[in-house]
Structure 1
Amino acid sequence: MNQLHDLADALASSDNQPRTTFEALCAFAQQTVGAKLFTLMTFDACTRGAQRIFSNMPDAYPELGTKPVNETWWTNHVLDGHKTFVANDIDAIAEVFPDHELISSLGCQSVINVPIIVNGTVYGTINCLDAAGHYTPERVAASDTLKLPGAAAFLLNQSISSRSVL
């Protein structure tokens, strides 16, 4: 539970936001479900655009501009259906992610994508990737504990982004 306390402290801090909160969320996810690679992606339902706003491996997965969502059954399942996606081998990952070779080269062959939903709207996804077979039913169930702190992190990011536009 120490990571959850650290996450609450990070969220309350005014230092280097939203990065401070994103890093604490990453540590919490690593403790809770495990993640060699951890990223946060925003999603805009109106434009169908996505943006990576955090990565613990920025050399491989940089935080860059907005890109259109690749419309697949994954999109229907996660972004439109509001359901967590799990794949526990690289072949299942390759079905939905064209960057599967890069994912595998990082030692990751399993993924869990947790949609973050507030008031019926998907704000984005928490993406955890690890070794093949890593996301057991117990870890998938534990991923639900990422939703509330994830919502706080995405709302903080939106609040900071809207202030910078003004």
Structure 2
Amino acid sequence: MTDHLPHLLADLAAPGQPDRLYKALDQATAELVGHKLFTLLYADGQDVARVYSSRPAEYPVSGRKTMGETPWGNLVLKGRQPFLGRDREGIRWAFFDHQLIESMGLGSVINIPVLYDGETIGTMNLLDVEHHYRDEHVAPLARLSPLLVPAFLQARAVARSKT
């Protein structure tokens, strides 16, 4: 398995943030474990807000949804634990928009919490066909999530300055 970290760190240091990093993570995660949908969301209270989507027609940037008071929110946002949904039942357990997800041919998911100062400040999300993801896919993705801390802190600060 290729070590993507040196290239991602170089992308993080280069101009054009945060889009440059988002696109580099999209590509790196596709090479590491594969995905048909890659999204990045920062946490804002009980809501999560999308800052990147590999399929913006179906999941547009700036889309928001309330996820805090859900079983998924308790696990990922409050519990700071990754979520691995291997099949459609996992998708249905986690997401109220499961019909859209399934209509896109997606049936498995990995959600990686992005942690900073003891809290989940966002998530990195990969979806693919049913049974695509396995336990061994989680750790390599979790290793990359700290790279998102500066971008998510900035996104939260910008959103809060507008209210």
Q: Normalized against structure 2, the TM-score is what?
A: 0.85
Residue-by-residue CA offset, 1:73-122 (whole Å, 9 max, x unaligned): 11111100000001111122112212212112222110010000011121
CA contact (8 A) 2:47 2:68 kept: no
Contact 1:78 1:84 in 2 (8 A): yes
What are structure 1's unaligned runs of at least 5 residues? Answer: none
Q: Which residue number corresponds to residue 63 of structure 1?
A: 61
Matches of 2:49 and 2:32 in 1, distance apart? 24
CA drift of 1:11 comes to 1.1
1:82-121 aligned at under 5 Å gives the runs: 82-121=80-119
Q: Distance in 2 between matches of 1:100 and 1:66?
A: 15
Of residues 145-154 and 113-122 in structure 1, the stretch that sits farther from structure 2 once superposed is 145-154
Aligned sequence identity (%): 38
Separation of aligned partners in 2, 1:125 and 1:104: 20
Q: Distance in 1 between matches of 2:4 and 2:154?
A: 19
**SS of residue in 1 equivalent to 2:110:** strand
Partner Cα distance (1:56, 1:95) in 2: 23
Separation in 1 of the partners of 2:149 and 2:89?
A: 30
Q: Are the equivalent residues in 2 in contact too, given 1:33–1:140 (CA < 8 A)? A: no
Taking the aligned partners of 1:142 and 1:89, their CA distance within structure 2 comes to 20
Unaligned runs of 5+ in 2: none
Q: What's the counterpart of residue 31 of structure 1? A: 31
Higher RCO (C-alpha under 8 Å, 6+ residues apart): 1
- State the 1:2 CA deviation: 6.4
CA gap 1:123/1:35 in 2 versus in 1, 3 angstroms:
same
Contact 2:106/2:128 (8 A) holds in 1: yes
